[in-house]
């Protein structure tokens, strides 16, 4: 028992020095390597906390992962802005190209309700030659200097080019039998479309038309930096479009020469190459061969137009690229065509033909019907049959 007056427990009186509680530094020093330490003053009166060390975590710099993500996001934003600027530039050019197409041409076209991305589409390409093309001595009429059908085939991932010889006999609506290239002169692109429809048959209707001014096409090729063409043989052309001003010099000039192999051509030389109708080094060279050269030029130009270098120039030159063209196609359809061209893994090169009966015409035969079936993908591509002569019809696969 506790003595009288004593409490049965002990009373402890505690307290602390005013100011912040002092913290030991020995344990902290081992765990704060790489940190910046600061000395902080104590409480009032300078208690034991006056020498306390305070550790602060340093700011971390940007890692390479963060820099990579920021760079990628920046590039995507720049690409999106560049694409939008290019689209508006091309749209302006396409609007002008639509306005250049002759009034009423749309009525001759077989319109589609589906996309180029998913359905086969037939585009008639007409190259025109006239007095404003800058080539002295050429006719002032507007015959189609070249006629070609381009068919997209998304299901097979291929493009098909069908050349039409200029001298092919054709029934021109309202004018009877003529050379097929006369349709352009007689009734413009509308009559050329109707003539092509009659020539191809109901299974291969023309859905779109693109009229190419050949002189302006030279400028387009120059604008994209020229094109590369694999010339299959040495060529010495007949004399046309002499490059010299003197008649004496032109009389001594032999003609245009092209060496076999890959050649880089500017617009003027590419145009000359596509116009050659006679190779004096090869008597077997015909107007059919000329059509093949035109296909080479057209395909090389399309490859260059779909190249990354052209894409990066679109905001500045998108409208200029459309100057040689007159067409019914919209900007969206051109973009779809570019994607189909990008996706195409192979190219089918076809040509209509016939026989030369000595009357100045190429008269077609049953082989042309077979070629149309090849273009539609209903039969396997076959080259011109043996014995079909210089103007045989057929198809070959490239790539």
Cα 341 from Cα 313, distance rounded (Å): 19
Which pLDDT score, from 0 to 100, does residue 7 have?
62
Other C-beta atoms within 10 Å of 19: how many? 17
Which pLDDT score, from 0 to 100, does residue 275 have?
86
Q: What is the mean pLDDT of residues 247-263?
A: 92
Q: What are φ and ψ of residue 301, in 5° steps?
A: -65, -40
Cα 30 from Cα 185, distance rounded (Å): 95
DSSP state of 109: S
Q: What is the mean pLDDT of residues 364-371?
A: 92
Q: What is the CATH number of domain 77-398?
A: 3.40.630.190
Give the end-to-end CA distance of the chain in Å, rounded to a whole number. 113
Query: What are the helix (H) ranges across 224-285?
Result: 247-252, 267-275
pLDDT tier at 53, thresholds 50, 70, 90: low
Closest CA to 282 of 229, 232, 228: 232
Cα 47 from Cα 16, distance rounded (Å): 10
More confident residue, 2 or 330: 330
Kind and range of the H or E run holding 65: helix 64-100
């Amino acid at each position: 028992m506790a003595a009288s007056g004593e409490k049965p427990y002990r009373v402890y009186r505690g307290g602390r020095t005013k100011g912040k509680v002092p913290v030991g530094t020995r344990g902290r020093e081992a765990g704060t390597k790489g940190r910046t330490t600061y000395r902080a003053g104590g409480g009032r009166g300078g208690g034991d906390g006056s020498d306390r060390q305070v550790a602060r975590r340093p700011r971390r710099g940007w890692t390479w992962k963060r820099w990579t993500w920021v760079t990628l996001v920046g590039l995507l934003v720049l690409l999106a802005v560049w694409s939008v600027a290019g689209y508006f530039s091309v749209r302006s050019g396409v609007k002008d190209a639509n306005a250049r197409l002759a009034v009423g041409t749309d009525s001759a076209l077989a319109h589609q309700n589906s996309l180029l991305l998913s359905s086969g589409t037939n585009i008639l390409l007409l190259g025109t030659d006239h007095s404003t093309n800058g080539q002295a001595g050429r006719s002032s009429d507007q015959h189609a200097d070249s006629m070609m059908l381009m068919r997209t085939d998304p299901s097979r991932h291929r493009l098909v080019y069908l050349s039409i010889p200029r001298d092919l006999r054709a029934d021109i609506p309202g004018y009877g039998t003529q050379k097929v290239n006369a349709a352009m002169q007689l009734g413009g692109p509308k009559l050329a479309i109707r003539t092509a429809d009659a020539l191809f048959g109901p299974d291969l209707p023309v859905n779109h038309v693109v009229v190419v001014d050949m002189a302006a096409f030279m400028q387009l090729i120059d604008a994209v930096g020229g094109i590369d063409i694999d010339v299959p043989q040495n060529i010495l052309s007949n004399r046309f479009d002499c490059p010299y001003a003197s008649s004496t010099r032109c009389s001594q000039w032999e003609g245009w020469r092209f060496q076999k192999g890959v050649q880089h051509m500017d617009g003027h030389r590419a145009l000359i190459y596509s116009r050659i109708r006679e190779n004096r080094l090869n008597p077997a060279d015909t107007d059919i061969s000329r059509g093949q050269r035109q296909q080479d030029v057209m395909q090389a130009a399309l490859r260059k137009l779909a190249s990354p270098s052209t894409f990066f120039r679109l905001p500045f030159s998108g409208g200029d690229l459309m100057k040689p063209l007159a067409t019914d196609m919209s900007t969206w359809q051109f973009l779809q065509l570019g994607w189909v061209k990008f996706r195409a893994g192979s190219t089918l090169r076809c040509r209509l033909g016939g026989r030369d009966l000595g009357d100045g015409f190429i008269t077609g035969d049953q082989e042309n019907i077979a070629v149309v079936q090849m273009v539609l993908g209903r039969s396997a591509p076959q080259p011109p049959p043996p014995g079909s002569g210089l103007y045989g019809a057929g198809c070959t696969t490239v790539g």
